[in-house]
Structure 1
């Protein structure tokens, strides 16, 4: 069932439709929230608060827009509220490079993979908060479009694309500096 159909049913009071939305988005939304707050204990609370807010504000949702973008925007705002309240916040390591340890079948492949992973992680760590969010939304979850990402981050679609393609060029230069003869240096 499409998101719009589920939203319309939720607006009519159908709790099973709301449960289907939760089931559909819970895991990816949890990953997204964790990528912002880097706090396992509070991620579930923030996701739960997000779904409560969605239910309470479902009448304000405009069906001409993407439900997932609206949902992730609410989650982003809830995460930022948590960060503001929390004094122990440290910038999250990007989920793009997590859980990749199983890739590579030979020892050489694994060594090269881990070196490349470190290179990507180092590049991502140098990015600002907004750029990290763009990368996360573009490559995780449902691989969102630039338009959806722009709605979540309150940026124009042009600004999101420009940041993304600028980072792409920067990464190529960054990688060229650190890779010589197929070997990663300076990490």
Structure 2
């Protein structure tokens, strides 16, 4: 960990409100977009982001510094996003895939979605991927997260992530070029 990050973590662990505000300011946008690519909806992403920061605040004392703070928080955000989708699916008595498909369908009327038809198609293609490939594709394509950092976040090897990304790209290309 870098010295600035160590100072921030120590301040957070002593329940310093100013440090928590700084943490939110530093990471809220990146975490929001990470979450948004998973849950698709702006309102849902805001809810999950809030839950993520609550979990970070509650668990910062357990942060050991074995990984970067950012990787640790991304792992929490990823888990919170997946939990959110699972709970929503259970509540609506749907599969996770159906919940994601519904969220993509709702993007068309989402005032916060600034994409066009092609971007909607891309989201549909991503939604067809298995969960792990979705995560890897979103993190690499939209956020340009390095495989080394992704390996920490998703607790897997860089080689497995590279393979997942390659397979995801091929599947997306097939989906987008089919007639």
- Fold match (TM-score > 0.5): yes
C-alpha displacement of 1:23: 0.9
| Unaligned runs of at least 5 residues, structure 1 | 102-113, 179-184
Q: Alpha-carbon deviation of 1:120?
A: 4.3
TM-score (norm 2): 0.72
What is aligned with 1:136? Answer: 138
Could you say which residue in structure 1 is the equivalent of 2:110? Answer: none
Give the equivalent residue in structure 2 for 1:153.
154
Structure holding more helix per residue:
2
Gap change, CA 1:153 and 1:2, over 3 Å in 2: same
Q: How does 1:16-27 map to 2 (within 5 A)?
A: 16-27=18-29
Q: Secondary structure at the match of 2:168?
A: helix
Gaps of 5+ in 2: 108-112
Q: Name the counterpart of 1:8.
A: 10
Give, in angstroms, the shift of residue 3 of structure 1.
Answer: 3.1
- The Cα shift of 1:145 comes to 1.4
Which structure is larger by alpha-carbon Rg, 1 or 2?
Answer: 1
User: What RMSD over aligned residues (CA atoms) do the two structures have, in Å?
Assistant: 3.0
Aligned length: 161
Alignment of 1:24-35 (within 5 A): 24-35=26-37
Alpha-carbon shift at residue 133 of structure 1 (Å): 1.0
Runs of 4+ in 1 over 6 A off after TM superposition: none
Q: C-alpha distance in 1, partners of 2:159/2:64?
A: 22
1:45 equivalent in structure 2: 47
Among residues 49, 66, 79, which one is paired with 1:64 in the alignment? 66
What is the Cα deviation at residue 170 of structure 1? Answer: 5.0
SS of corresponding position for 1:155: coil
**Structure 2: how far apart are the matches of 1:154 and 1:6?**
24
Deviation at 1:71, TM superposition (A): 0.5
CA contact (8 A) 1:69 1:148 kept: yes
Pair 85,169 (structure 1): closer, same or farther in 2 beyond 3 Å: closer
Q: Is the 8 A contact 2:134 2:168 kept in 1?
A: no
Q: Distance in 2 between matches of 1:118 and 1:80?
A: 21
CA distance in 1, matches of 2:124, 2:57: 39
